[in-house]
């Protein structure tokens, strides 16, 4: 990416990798909550497969985070033994599933960012990050394709499906801004040529989502206010803690239990 590079410190790199891994972990868990509950069988299978891809990607990111940290924590340890304030995922992905429309809208808003982030990371100065991004981007391409088709199909569908998709967009749009705001960790990654400046991904994102919303006959909210605090870990929403009580209960009740 950049030609003059400054090595990031271990803590910053660990933080960045946790952000990547926690996004896919939390969204993967959320999506897996649909297993056995989706409106039709095909969607149930699609959601479960999407969750599986995301959890697979999580293993790659958090294993690398654990190696960088070098404190004896692997992906499982990081996923199941950290508490809510140690999570670094975007607020968007921890939002509850709501109805099917809300789940699909959340997926679309995330996938559109995720794919462009992964595409940029394929050029990372860190070979291991580039390799994980290369692997994950193939799956994210597929996810975005499906989310796009579904947003358009439901937005431009019946009155009922349109209403639900518009409600989902109004509810979730305030969580989009956080994806594009840089902090000290991002700046260190940019300086080291490891990751792109988050703001640089915004124009292409806006073009993509605007095109899809037009095709879906949905109206993007005027207000661009964005909630923050997920990726820094400072202010998660109340939903994440509740989710972790489900996701982590076995390791909490029986620490270090193995299969």
Partner 1 sequence: MVVEKPSLETVWGWLHAVPDPEIPVISLTDLGIIRDVQWQDDTLEVTVTPTYSGCPATTIINLDIETALRGHGIEKLALKRQLSPAWTSDWMTDAGRAKLESYGIAPPQPAGGPERCPRCKSTQLEKISQFGSTPCKAQWRCTDCLEPFDYFKCI
49 interacts with partner 1 by CB under 8 A:
yes
Q: What are phi and psi of 114, to 5 degrees?
A: -55, -45
Considering only residues 135, 162, 228, 239, which one is a binding residue for partner 1 as defined by CB under 8 A? 135
Q: Which of residues 63-92 bind partner 1 (CB under 8 A)?
A: none
Q: Which stretch binds partner 1 (CB under 8 A): 145-153, 164-172, 213-221, 237-245?
A: 145-153
Considering only residues 69, 77, 119, 131, which one is a binding residue for partner 1 as defined by CB under 8 A? 131
Q: 């950049």: which residue's tokens?
A: 2
Q: Which ranges of 70-197 does DSSP label H, i.e. alpha helix?
A: 75-81, 91-94, 100-121, 127-155, 159-172, 184-191
161 interacts with partner 1 by CB under 8 A:
no
Considering only residues 17, 25, 31, 60, which one is a binding residue for partner 1 as defined by CB under 8 A? 60
CA distance 21 to 75: 9
Q: Which is nearer to partner 1, 150 or 166 (CB)?
A: 150
Q: Which residues of 189-216 are buried (b: 16+ CB within 10 A; e: fewer)?
A: bbebbbbbebeebbeebeebbeebbeeb
Provide the binding-site residues for partner 1, judged by CB under 8 A. 42-43, 45-46, 49-50, 52-57, 59-60, 127, 130-132, 134-136, 138-139, 142, 145-146, 149
């Amino acid at each position: 990416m950049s030609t003059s590079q400054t090595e990031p410190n271990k803590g910053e790199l660990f933080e960045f990798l946790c952000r990547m891994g926690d996004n896919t972990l939390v969204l993967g868990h959320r999506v897996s909550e649909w297993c056995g509950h989706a409106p039709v069988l095909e969607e149930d299978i699609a959601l479960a497969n999407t969750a599986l891809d995301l959890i697979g990607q999580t293993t790659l990111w958090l294993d690398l985070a654990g190696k960088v940290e070098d404190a004896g924590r692997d992906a499982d340890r990081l996923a199941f033994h950290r508490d809510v304030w140690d999570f670094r995922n975007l607020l968007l992905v921890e939002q509850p599933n709501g109805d099917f429309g809300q789940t699909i809208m959340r997926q679309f808003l995330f996938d559109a960012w995720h794919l462009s982030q992964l595409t940029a990371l394929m050029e990372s100065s860190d070979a291991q990050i580039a390799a994980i991004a290369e692997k994950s981007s193939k799956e994210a391409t597929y996810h975005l394709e499906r989310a796009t088709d579904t947003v358009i199909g439901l937005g431009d569908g019946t009155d009922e499906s349109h209403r639900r998709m518009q409600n989902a967009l109004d509810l979730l749009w305030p969580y989009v801004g956080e994806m594009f705001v840089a902090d000290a960790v991002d700046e260190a990654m940019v300086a080291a040529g490891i990751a792109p400046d988050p703001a640089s991904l915004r124009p292409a994102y806006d073009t993509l989502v605007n095109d899809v919303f037009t095709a879906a006959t949905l109206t993007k909210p005027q207000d661009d206010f964005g909630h923050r605090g997920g990726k820094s870990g400072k202010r998660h929403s109340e939903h994440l803690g509740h989710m972790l009580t489900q996701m982590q209960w076995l390791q909490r009740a029986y620490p270090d239990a193995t299969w």
